[in-house]
Structure 1
Amino acid sequence: MEKLSDARRRALDDDHIRNLFRMEQANTDVLVHSSDIPGGYTVPPHRHRRTQFLCVFAGVVLVGTERGRWMIPPGHALLIPRGLEHSVEMISDVSMRSVYIYSPEGRAASQVPTVLEVTDLARQLIAETVRHDGLSEDRRRSDLVMALLLDEIGRLPERPLGLPFPASGRLAGLCRDFVEQPSPVAKIDDWARRLNMSRRTFTRFFRQEMGVSFVTWRQQACLFACLPRLAAGEPVTRVALDAGYESVPAFTTMFKRMLGTAPRAYLTSRTAA
C-alpha cells in the first residue's frame, strides 16, 4: 500500500468537508454518497445529523468511537447512529457507498453501531440509488426504491464485528495491549490476576464493562486481526498460524462460529459480490 502524499490527503479532506456541507444543506430525508478512497487514509473524528449506513463494496474499513471499534469487510455495512462521534480508517483501498437517513425508523434508529451483512437485494438497491441520485425523472420510482432499501436494511443479518472498549482504567490498557497482539489462548485467570481480582469477580466486571463475555471479546479481537489479511489475499493457513491458532481447523471453527461460514467460502462469496 503506497503512502499517501500530503496533497492527496488534503484533497481527500476537502472532499469529506464538501460532503458534510452537502448533508447539512440538503432538505431531502435520504441522501446517498459514493466514495473510492485509498488505503492509509483516516477521516478524523466527526459526527452527522443523519444516521449513516456505510456499505463497503471492496476493501476493509475500521470505524472507531470512544467505546469501541467496528470492522467492515467487503459485503458488509455499519449503521452509525446520528450524533455519534466517530473516525473512519481505510485499512486498504476502499470502495464504499453511504446512505444518510434524516428520520430513521426501526433498526436504523438504533443508538448502537451495528455491523450488517449486505444481501444481493440491498447491494442492487444501493447501486440504483447512487446511479439516479438527484437525477431520476421518475420521482415515484426513486421513492419506492429508497423505501425498499430502508425496509431491507431492517432485515439484514447482524455480524459480530464490533469490538467494545472500556472508556478508561486498567482494563482499557489491557484491552489495548491485547488488540496489538491478540491471542486465542489468552486466559481469564491471567487477566484477573493482573487486575487483582478473583476469576468470578473479573468475569462479572468484564461483562458489566464491555457488554459481552471475555471469551466472546477475545474471539472478536482475534477476528479483527485476521480479516484484513484474509481480504488482502493472504493464505488462510498463514493467517491462522500467525494468529496463534494450533491448526487451520481450529481457526475455521472460530471463523464459522463468528461469521457463519468457513474462511475460504467467505472470501469467495465476498469476491464474487
Structure 2
Amino acid sequence: MADPALPVIPFIHDSSDRFVSPPHRHGRAQLVWASAGIVTVRTGQGEWVIPPNRAVWIPAETEHVTGSRAAVAFRTLYLRADAVPDAAPDRCAAVAVSPLLRELILRATALPRADLSGRFATQLFALLREELRFLPDPPLHLPLPQDARLAGFCAGLLADPATAPDLITAAARLGMSRRSFIRLFQRDLGMSYGHWRQQARLLASLPMLAEGRPMLGIALDLGYQSPSAFSAVFRRVFGVVPTRYFRPE
C-alpha cells in the first residue's frame, strides 16, 4: 500500500481468470467496485454479488473473502477512519455507483502514487466521500445461516441453485416439520425460505449474464421452467429485464 498517512489509498486488481482470496481483514474501511465483471464479497454477515452499477462497503476489521468466477477488473479504496462518511453503516452495505462516482473512482485509482497527497487528490477524495450513497441490503445481498443444520443445506443449494427443493421437501431433508423449518429459517436468516431461494437464484444469474450466456441456459440452470419465467422474476426484483441489466445507465 501507499503512505499510511493518506486519508484514502486506491488499489487496482485485474484478474483474467476466476479467483478467491483467503479470509482477511483490513485496518481501514474499504469500498470495492468492479469496473468490469462481477465481484463477490462474503463475510459472516452474508454474501454480496456486485455488478458494475453497485459497489460494496466493508467496515474496518471486517473479515471477508473476495472473489470472482470469471475475469474481473475491480477498484478498491481504503479509507482512514477520519475519511469515512458520517452516514457509513457499521456493517457491510451496497453502494449505488452513479456516473459521477464511477468517474471519481476511476480517476482516484489512476492517480500516480506521488500525487496522492497533493491538492487535487485531496479535493477528489472529499468529493468522492460526499458522493457515496448507501443502499438497503436487497436485492444484492444474500444472508448466510449461522445454524449448522441450515449452513450445510444452504451451501448445497448455492453450489447448484437448480436443485433447491420446495418447502416441504427442504424440511424433510433436515428431519424437521414444515412449521419448525419455517421458524428456524426465518429466525436465522431474517427472511422466508422461498425468498432466500429466489434471492440465491437471482444472484447466481448475474455472473452468467455478465458472461453473455444464453437466457435459455441460464433459466434452466437455475431451475426455472422457461426464460420468460426467469425474466419475470428478475424484472420484479431488479426493475429491468435480464438483457438490459448490464447496459450503461
Q: Same fold (TM over 0.5)?
A: yes
1:29 aligns with 2:7: yes
Aligned with residue 239 of structure 2, among 260, 263, 266: 260
1:208 aligns with 2:187: yes
Aligned with residue 230 of structure 1, among 209, 218, 230: 209
Q: Which runs of 5+ in 2 are unaligned?
A: none
Tell me what 1:106 maps to. Answer: 86
Q: Cα distance, 1:184 vs. partner?
A: 8.4
Tell me what 2:16 maps to. Answer: 38
Which structure's residues are more often helix, by fraction? 1
CA distance in 1, matches of 2:164, 2:147: 25
Aligned with residue 93 of structure 1, among 71, 83, 86: 71
Tell me what 1:149 maps to. Answer: 128
Change (3 A) 1:158 1:177: closer
CA distance in 1, matches of 2:143, 2:87: 20
Aligned with residue 128 of structure 1, among 107, 111, 132: 107
* Amino acid aligned to 1:61: V
Report how many residues are paired: 247
- Output the aligned Cα RMSD: 2.4
Q: Which runs of 5+ in 1 are unaligned?
A: 1-18
Change (3 A) 1:185 1:178: closer
Change (3 A) 1:156 1:131: farther
Q: Cα distance, 1:158 vs. partner?
A: 5.7
**8 Å contact from structure 1 (residues 62, 89) kept in 2:** yes
Q: Calculate percent identity across the aligned residue pairs.
A: 36
CA distance in 2, matches of 1:240, 1:171: 25
Q: Cα distance, 1:153 vs. partner?
A: 1.3
**8 Å contact from structure 2 (residues 38, 207) kept in 1:** yes
Write out per-residue CA displacement over residues 131-171 of structure 1, whole angstroms, 9 at most, x where no aligned residue.
33544499444323212211211256765222222234111
Change (3 A) 1:53 1:232: same
Q: Which moved more, 1:160-169 or 1:220-229?
A: 160-169
Tell me what 2:25 maps to. Answer: 47
Write out per-residue CA displacement over residues 175-212 of structure 1, whole angstroms, 9 at most, x where no aligned residue.
01111221387322222233343433322221211122
Change (3 A) 1:169 1:185: closer
